[in-house]
Amino acid sequence: MLLLSQDQDISLEEVLKYPLTPVPLSLAHLNGSLCATNKASLVHKLEAMVQHLRTPPMVDVVIIDVMFLIRSQVSFLPVHYGDVARYLLKTVKAFGAKMVFLVCDVYSIETIKDTCREERGTITGGTYPDKLGPAQSRPRDFANMLKHDSFKNAFFKFLIDE
């Protein structure tokens, strides 16, 4: 393209205003199939680029991905949802920061993850509670339930209310 623009009147600025592919290559291959990425390999490459620094003596602000926190603690979580909320609060308070921000994704219907799970056959139909209570026991397959957006929404609503 650059070579052609030298011989002909082609404005690269104008050409690059438009997408070069029908679907962004970060989401899909040229044939339209979804790209699958290994997030862990990216994390390892980024970690290798970071110099090891000393831990700061005081932390003012902590930003926590709620879903990561829950998934990393799932085998330690208590049986009842009320106890789960208290356990997570205790875990968050242990950071000792003056301010803590809990962030999570917004789960809408028909996400790319849902499409991938459906193609693999790992998403199942079913009904999930829209309201959870503190005395209610979490299911044994809690980690699997966290794959269902309707359950995640009910669980996050419960955590916020609790």
Q: What is the pLDDT of residues 22-64, one digit of tens each?
A: 667 777 776 767 777 777 787 788 888 887 777 777 788 889 8
How large a percentage of the chain has pLDDT more than 90?
Answer: 7
The DSSP secondary-structure symbol of 75 reads G
**Residues 42, 62: Cα–Cα separation, whole Å:** 23
2 Cβ contact list (under 8 Å, min separation 6) = 12
pLDDT of residue 80 exceeding 90 = yes
Q: What is the rounded (10 degree) CA torsion for 139, 144, 149, 151?
A: 0
151 Cβ contact list (under 8 Å, min separation 6) = 128, 129, 145
**Residues 47, 54: Cα–Cα separation, whole Å:** 15
**pTM reported for the whole predicted model:** 0.57
31 burial via Cβ count (<10 Å: 0-12, 13-18, 19+): exposed
pLDDT of residue 122 exceeding 60 = no
How many Cβ atoms from other residues are within 10 Å of residue 80's Cβ?
15
